[in-house]
Amino acid sequence: MPSSFRNASAAQLAAAMRDARNYTLALFERFQSAGLDDLARVPYLPIINPPLWELGHIAWFAEWFVLREAATSHPTAAQHPCLLDAGDRWFDSGNVAHATRWTLDLPDVAIIKKYADEVLTRILDKLANVTDDAIALYPYRLVLAHEDMHGEAFAYTLQTLGLAAPSSLRAMALSAAPHTDLHFDGGPFQLGSPATREFVFDNEKWAHPVTIPEFTISSTLVSNEQYQQFMDDGGYEKMQFWDDAGRAWLAAKKRYAPQYWQRDHKLWLCRRFGKLMELPEKEPVRHVSLHEARAYCRWAGRRLPSEAEWEFAASSDNPNFRWGDLWEWTDSTFAPYPGFSADAYLEYSAPWFGTHQVLRGASFATQQRSCSPRYRNFFTAERDDIFVGFRTCAN
């Protein structure tokens, strides 16, 4: 497998697409086993999609950009009709409101699986005749990245619904590296992706000069054990550690611990994919909102890193800066880089500028081929259902 989908050849992309689809179907089977492949049985939650709709959407997106040769995601951009008569009405995420996805007249699982298989087969046949040219391979790299993102979304939907994970996600223990502070002198830095022949997301364009002041950042993420010290010191009760948005979130959620933690006498347990287990103290804390991360930092006399600081450290040659176990909150609002313009997938970044927060890194559920120190993930501050933690910087 290629080290990155961004520079994968046509042959490597073909293998990666097969791998991604096998993984998608293995995840979908977990919903089928629980009887949640029927729209009527899936609870409506703003943070998930119905799995049956999501499977159809993955295939539709791939058909749209590769087989239907759409130059953009604009509703009139497709050059050819959908293999499903009502496919655009069902699966175009830009025009099918999230809440309505539970009430669509979707066909049954067998038809959607057959559609997904037909789309992939035709894409692979077409890819076999594509040269290793960045422009020609762009739509293939885009749809692979899209399916990998939805694979991770399937994984956190399994966690949200308390369902078992496939075997590839069951070994959940994360590395527990020594926790130290790393000092960086800072200086001039090119933030973002350079103009190369590799695939680049529009929100990474383009690399531009910034000056990074010297900073000190933790080598690893805050652990469960460290976070528990914050809780034991009344972190969820002492409102001086929470800003206005955090206090409003805390009042609405009535939280006293991170999502999926529960107390059993003196022992803390956590729920992972439907199973209760003793909380691993040395692992990074996960399923925490931005509000919780910021409150911890105030308690600890620390702060979250900016995304520029994070990228500077991750791009350095310091082997002690460890990342990739969990997505990490940064203190940066998701915003365009200078000269931003949307790429083919028009709705990928632009609608979310100013309302979402940047996360950096990757998680155990992220495909290795998608990991990059320049990748900008983004979610709203209250999201704690994703596989997310945080590290701190010295003030």
- Number of neighbouring beta carbons within 10 Å of residue 88: 17
Q: How deeply is 22 buried, as exposed, middle or buried, from its count of CB atoms within 10 A (0-12, 13-18, 19+)?
A: exposed
Question: pLDDT for 317-348, tens place per residue?
Answer: 999 999 998 999 999 999 999 999 999 999 99
Q: Which residues contact 168 (CB under 8 A, 6 or more apart)?
A: 23, 26
Considering 102, 134, 168, which residue would you say is the last residue of a domain?
168
Q: What is the mean pLDDT of residues 94-98?
A: 96
Question: pLDDT for 106-148, tens place per residue?
Answer: 999 999 999 999 999 999 999 999 999 999 999 999 999 999 9
Same domain, 222 and 145: no
> Of 55, 172, 151, 170, whose CA–CA distance to 104 is shortest?
55
Number of structural domains (the chain) is 2
Same domain, 87 and 143: yes
Tokens 């259902």 belong to 385
Considering 168, 196, 230, which residue would you say is the last residue of a domain?
168
- Number of neighbouring beta carbons within 10 Å of residue 50: 26
Cα end-to-end distance, the chain, whole Å? 41
Distance (Å, whole) CA 323 – CA 361? 6
Tokens of 213: 């002041």
Return the H-helix or E-strand segment holding 169: helix 167-170
Residue 9 pLDDT exceeds 90: yes
Same domain, 163 and 303: no
Does residue 152 fall inside a structural domain?
yes
Is residue 20 within 8 A of residue 151, CB to CB? The reply is: yes
Question: pLDDT for 12-45, tens place per residue?
Answer: 999 999 999 999 999 999 999 999 999 999 999 9
Residue 360 pLDDT exceeds 80: yes
Question: pLDDT for 156-189, tens place per residue?
Answer: 999 999 999 988 775 555 666 778 999 999 999 9
Q: Count CA within 13 A, CB hemisphere, residue 353.
A: 15
Considering 168, 190, 209, which residue would you say is the last residue of a domain?
168
- Domain range spanning residue 66? 5-168
Same domain, 48 and 89: yes
Beta strands 327-333 and 388-389 are parallel
